[in-house]
A and B are shown apart, each in its own frame.
Chain A
Amino acid sequence: MKTEFVPQHDLPRDYSGNCGWGDEPDRNEASMTSVITTHELTKQFKTHTAVDALNLDVPQGHVYGFLGPNGSGKSTTMKMILGLTQPTSGDIEVLGEPLTRASRTKLLPSIGSMIEAPPGYGHLTGRENMRIVQDMLDLSTAQIDHALATVRLTGQENKLVRNYSLGMKQRLGIAMALARNPALLILDEPTNGLDPAGIEEVRMLLVDLASQGITVMVSSHLLDEIDKMASVLGILSSGKMIFQGSRDQLFEQSVPDLIIETSDPQAALAQGLTATRVPEGIRMSGIDKDQTAKVVYQLAVAGVPIYEVRRVAHSLEDVFMDLTGRGGLL
């Protein structure tokens, strides 16, 4: 069978955001129910479109990593999901219910959130802040104690919040979101400003919460953080969803370059391949496994000596940069 060689980067990419979840991760079928779905969600401000026809699909019981450069529309999307900002157009469904003014009141007790910065009245202690949340939502003291213990603030709860470190404030914010025993947790950049230990702590906490069945939607502009905790990724760029799916599916979106080690790169290039010369031989971009086999066969038939064929090590960050057009993700 003859295979026509077409470099992968010349193929149209499907960034429609409709990727399935594939085999990621080990969840049963019931857990694939969507907790948040949006349909053509759009938010337009006077001068620009912050969110553009977004089709979001957050599966139940997963940590959904919502990635994008600063200003890509993550916070606006989260605010719309929480009903804090009205969409210009499009629909939102949360926990199986269309989000409306009426349904929002019913849904809010099931949604914990922390948007943009951790809340907390500086002149009050952590415990007093939690008591405000307790009163707001009619929660039990046991729920408050449990939330404080979960974020490991027990023992620190009687300090004034203004004297908290940034990490403690973040944890208090998460405790406030957790106190209501939410089915869905929406956290906007919860690791912002934290040191590596703090980031690791929040990461472990979120993974642990997801293992308890809580769906966590967490945004970040830091790829590294999300990569280590999210089982599903959504990548936003300039308000548009450019990828949605598992980590493996994300890798499939971008094929690493192929290095063909040869002592005679000139002869290899003479075969009409779209490749560049590198010290060890030639480098080809965007060719998949079948195309690799075809190239190797073609070179072997032409008598070009091949010592090694390998893929360039490709980090998630490289994939990410490819997708976002190096739009400022770290």
Chain B
Amino acid sequence: MRRAIRLEFRKMRRLRTFLITAILVLAVAGLSSFSLFAGSTQESFNDPDALPWAGLMVTYTLMAAMTSPILAAVLASRQTDIEHSGIGWTLASTAGYSPGVLCRAKLVALSAVLLPAVIVQTLLVIGIGLFAGIRVPLDPGPWVLYTGLLFLIDVAFLALHIWLAAIVENQLVSVGVGMLGAFLGVFTLLTSTAIARLIPWGYYAMISPIGQQGDRLVYLTPPFGWIAGFLILVGIVFAVATRRLDRIER
């Protein structure tokens, strides 16, 4: 498996995986922080009761829910499409690497790219917040928690898109599903948790540690049980689905 993962990094060359990731990270960080430069927002930067960091996180969760499904779809699609166009499935099979192994290796390799990207993304948002003048001390707990959960949900969608890109050669399908996911991700931020938990992309909303109580923003504890259940379910489905891929005769 380790060798298969190393091979995936070799294949990433010239796929612009790192460039695409960097562009989306910068876009999320930029769009999340955009409102910080509005005069009305800046008035609350020194008021602990106004929770300026929580306000910043709200826009961050919105932007992340909007872009993360697309990023996962694009990265997975590019990394998997090369196996269709390059007859890579057959090449690997004749060397003893089944399609399932390839898909699992792709998931690990892309997750390794995504982990630092999500961390840098969060740090950029915080950095821009400090640069914009937020003087209220930062409570790192919700940010660390959100960053960790965002990464895990991203990994879950990478798995979905790798599987989808492997079984459907037309990559428009995988990217199209990603776009739909982006819409649903934003939509579920505006709906109740009961609906969000039933929609896979709703988990981008479920992991948010910020909620609204009346007119005020409040820190919440995300529903860990549901999130863990979703991640475990995706893990099981991915394991079974990639095993079944080995039985597809190309």
Instruction: Flag if A119 contacts B86 (CB, 8 Å).
Output: yes
Instruction: Flag if B10 contacts A84 (CB, 8 Å).
Output: no
B97 to chain A: closest CB distance in Å? 7
Partner of A128, one of B10, B85, B91, B97: B10
Judge whether B250 is part of the interface by a CB distance below 8 angstroms. yes
Partner of B14, one of A82, A108, A124: A124
Instruction: Flag if B95 contacts A119 (CB, 8 Å).
Output: no
Stretch of A34-42, A132-140, A276-284, A322-330 at the chain-chain interface: A132-140
Judge whether A113 is part of the interface by a CB distance below 8 angstroms. yes
Instruction: Flag if A119 contacts B250 (CB, 8 Å).
Output: no
Instruction: Flag if A119 contacts B13 (CB, 8 Å).
Output: no
Enumerate chain A residues within 8 angstroms of B86, measured Cβ to Cβ.
119-122, 161
A86, A115, A116, A132: most-surrounded residue (chain B CB, <10 A):
A132
Judge whether B94 is part of the interface by a CB distance below 8 angstroms. yes
Instruction: Flag if B3 contacts A136 (CB, 8 Å).
Output: yes
The digit string for B54-90, where 1 denotes a CB below 8 A from any CB of A, is 0000000000000000000000000000100111101
A202 to chain B: closest CB distance in Å? 18
Instruction: Report the Cα distance A283→B87, complex, angstroms.
Output: 52
| Given contact pairs A132-B10, A135-B7, A136-B3, A84 touches B92 in the complex (Cβ within 8 A) | no
Enumerate chain A residues within 8 angstroms of B95, measured Cβ to Cβ.
108, 133, 136-137
Partner of A117, one of B11, B82, B87, B97: B87
Instruction: Flag if A122 contacts B90 (CB, 8 Å).
Output: no
Instruction: Flag if B7 contacts A136 (CB, 8 Å).
Output: yes
B213 to chain A: closest CB distance in Å? 51
Interface size on A, residues (CB 8 A): 31
| Given contact pairs A108-B94, A113-B94, A116-B90, A86 touches B249 in the complex (Cβ within 8 A) | yes
Enumerate chain B residues within 8 angstroms of A108, measured Cβ to Cβ.
94-96
B3, B82, B87, B94: most-surrounded residue (chain A CB, <10 A):
B94
Enumerate chain A residues within 8 angstroms of B250, measured Cβ to Cβ.
84
Instruction: Flag if A135 contacts B3 (CB, 8 Å).
Output: yes
Instruction: Report the Cα distance A128→B97, complex, angstroms.
Output: 18
Judge whether A118 is part of the interface by a CB distance below 8 angstroms. yes
Instruction: Report the Cα distance A27→B42, complex, angstroms.
Output: 89
| Given contact pairs A123-B82, A136-B95, A115 touches B90 in the complex (Cβ within 8 A) | yes
Enumerate chain A residues within 8 angstroms of B249, measured Cβ to Cβ.
79, 84-86
Within 8 A of A (CB), among B1-47: 3, 6-7, 10-11, 13-15
Instruction: Report the Cα distance A278→B224, complex, angstroms.
Output: 92
Partner of A135, one of B6, B14, B93: B6
Instruction: Flag if B13 contacts A128 (CB, 8 Å).
Output: yes
Partner of A105, one of B3, B14, B88, B96: B96
| Nearest neighbor of B93 in chain A, beta-carbon distance | A84
Q: List 5 A-B contacts (CB under 8 A).
A: A84-B250, A119-B87, A132-B7, A132-B11, A136-B96
Q: A82-B93, A119-B88 are in contact. List 12 more A-B contacts (CB 8 A).
A: A108-B94, A108-B96, A115-B94, A116-B87, A119-B86, A124-B10, A124-B11, A124-B13, A133-B91, A135-B7, A137-B95, A161-B86
| B contact residues vs A (CB 8 Å cutoff) | 3, 6-7, 10-11, 13-15, 82, 85-88, 90-97, 249-250
Q: Which 7 A-B pairs have the closest CB atoms?
A: A119-B91, A119-B87, A121-B86, A136-B95, A123-B14, A85-B249, A113-B94
